[in-house]
Structure 1
């Protein structure tokens, strides 16, 4: 088991993981462009989990800074191949992200999880995360 920073060559596997099980259907070329940007950003980080020389999951962090609380890292995505659920891949990615966040001055981790992802909620609670509030998510694309 290895966790390393993502590379641009990981874009295809990340895109596949986004499509299933996360249900984010997004063009591969756009995923590659976004990953390229994230890899060069000082306030974003993407780590991948390797098993048997194959990427089986990833976690994406983004700096979360506001005027009403301490600096946190925001988990933008955490996904593991469903064929290896329950084998510790998600937990190890989350632990790795937490350690990286501490080393980079964050006071904690925050994340949002879709209301329908009840198994993910149980996982996060088991990892010591507490449910803070319910929200409605808005978006406007240009």
Structure 2
């Protein structure tokens, strides 16, 4: 197994981090589309559309074509939602990682390196929505290097950084479709605090839910 080194971000890591983030977020498009199809509103629209067109056209061809177009449009809506988030992130904190994290108080950005290649990343900074805590952000591991404990090591790095600076807890936000991430965080001792829908029209239409997790460091124990 290749050795993994967790180190602070350097400016020459920028392109690798951005590529890894973009690919990682794009992976969630299929699961997000399936999440949309499972919503009662989506199923009701599909059923009403099929029944109305079947009744009016006396044929199955038109309703099948209409549903196919509807599903294609729904998938494009999900793609648009993710692309907009990726573009926003790349133009905000990921546009200048050193300025956003390394030059700010109680903030940091780390990468996991294997054989000279960046294969993972994580960051933390003071949480905006939970006073007195740090927030874990930008967790990502390349698909080719998953299952090697890299994500767990990155989680521990953030917890150690938070503890060293005297903060009582780490918080983070992940989406309802990121089930592997949820399992990881719960294994690392994070507790689910609440679920909420992003207050944007597209998120409300798709019922795209975020989950807030919290790791209280006072009762955080050693984990594998």
Counterpart in the other structure of 1:100: 161
Look up the match of 2:37: none
Q: Residues 7 and 121 (structure 1 numbering): CA distance in 2 closer, same or farther, change over 3 Å?
A: same
Structure 2 length normalisation: TM-score? 0.56
- Select the structure that is richer in strand: 1
Q: Say whether the 8 Å CA contact 1:49–1:58 is kept in structure 2.
A: yes
Tell me whether 1:40 sits opposite 2:103 in the alignment: yes
2:6 maps to which residue? 3
Corresponding residue for 2:18? 15
1:118 paired residue number:
179
Corresponding residue for 2:112?
Answer: 49
**Cα distance, 1:33 vs structure 2:** 3.3
In structure 1, the gaps of 5 or more residues are: none
Question: How many Å apart are 1:130 and its aligned residue?
Answer: 1.2
Deviation at 1:14, TM superposition (A): 0.8
| CA RMSD between the two structures | 2.3
SS in 1 for 2:135: strand
Q: Distance in 1 between matches of 2:94 and 2:197?
A: 29
Using the size of structure 1 for normalisation, the TM-score is 0.85
The answer on whether the counterparts of 1:8 and 1:32 sit within 8 Å (CA) in structure 2 is no
Q: Does 2:197 match 1:136?
A: yes
Residues 140 and 151, structure 2, Cα contact 8 Å, conserved in 1:
yes
Partners of 1:73 and 1:22 lie apart in 2 by 22
Pair 1:81 & 2:84 matched: no
Q: Which runs of 5+ in 2 are unaligned?
A: 27-84, 201-224
